[in-house]
Structure 1
């Protein structure tokens, strides 16, 4: 039986940075009741959620592994806070050529090998790490943005893999890591 699942591809920071970003999400939930961003671990989305046959998940990972075989690890820099309109608050990720190149390669892979449609976010890639969205009400936006700016941090790390996240029970789970060239 064919079972369609939801997946997406992301860069996930190392545990110490993951925890710092997660703490920001937790503080927003405690103060404002905003919790939707807690449904996924802190990450940088490289390919937005897509439907895929769960029975072919191993094939997906194998194909992605082939695609990333020549991908060199690179540095990701977190610096500052940004927003999309008055409904999304995020930690800013510095655009770099290696990051932009990875996203373009993954986008092309998904289009050609998985036959996924190019979405607006695929064409207008803006790397970020979301800390509040969807249930962030416009009336609280300025205050939430201010709180996130108070808690924001600057960090950099070397990323060496792409993570396949899978939606299970209404939450996104870190499912499989696909390493870059080692």
Structure 2
């Protein structure tokens, strides 16, 4: 079994901006794990799946995307899940919340072995530092990002 997740990957111009922020965390706070994935907004948290059967997941997602519509994504400042995660906040628009909820329902119907998210509330975000950000480095970094401005709007995604 391997771990997979479902996410919206943000456009390339924004990827570059997030990579610069991740680099700042790497250089100043020795946090590098966020480099393991491109900038994204997780819609379905990690789940275990047999890699040889990944085609089932791909077909389910293709079916879902075929019936979905593009939505705008709004970014608004930095936020945190203390004591290890700092992220760019994604505004909980009705469209984004509906898309995530519809995806979870779709996956439950088409792939019932994928467990529902353990945290029923959805906090959309783009992670810039986590896991290897020590609590000490979090306490040093957070005051530098807590009031740092970051806003943007991504073109409609799906």
The alpha-carbon distance between structure 1 residues 15 and 149, as it changes in their structure 2 partners (threshold 3 A), is farther
User: When the two structures are superposed, what TM-score results if normalisation uses the length of structure 2?
Assistant: 0.90
- Counterpart of 1:109 in 2: which secondary structure? helix
Q: Displacement, 1:143?
A: 2.3
Number of aligned residue pairs: 157
Aligned match of 1:141 in 128, 135, 138? Answer: 138
Question: 1:47: how far off?
Answer: 0.6
**Which structure is higher in strand share?**
1
Query: Per-residue deviation at 1:68?
Result: 2.2
Counterparts of 1:1-182 in structure 2, within 5 Å, are 4-115=1-112, 116-121=114-119, 123-149=120-146, 152-161=149-158
Q: Which consecutive residues of structure 1, in runs of 5 or more, have no partner in the other structure? A: 162-182
Aligned-pair CA distance for 1:70: 2.2
Query: Secondary structure of the equivalent of 1:120?
Result: coil
Over aligned residues, Cα RMSD in angstroms?
Answer: 1.7
Report deviation, 1:152.
4.9
Give the 3-state SS of the residue equivalent to 2:67 in structure 1: coil
Report if the CA contact (8 A) 1:13-1:159 is conserved.
Answer: no
After TM superposition, give the deviation of residue 156 of structure 1 in Å: 0.7
Relative to the length of structure 1, the TM-score reads: 0.79
Question: How far apart are residue 118 of structure 1 and its match?
Answer: 1.5
CA distance in structure 2 between the aligned counterparts of 1:155 and 1:128, rounded to whole angstroms: 13
Contact 1:11 1:159 (8 Å CA) reproduced: no
Give structure 2 stretches of 5+ with no counterpart: none
* Structure 1 residue 148: Cα displacement: 3.5
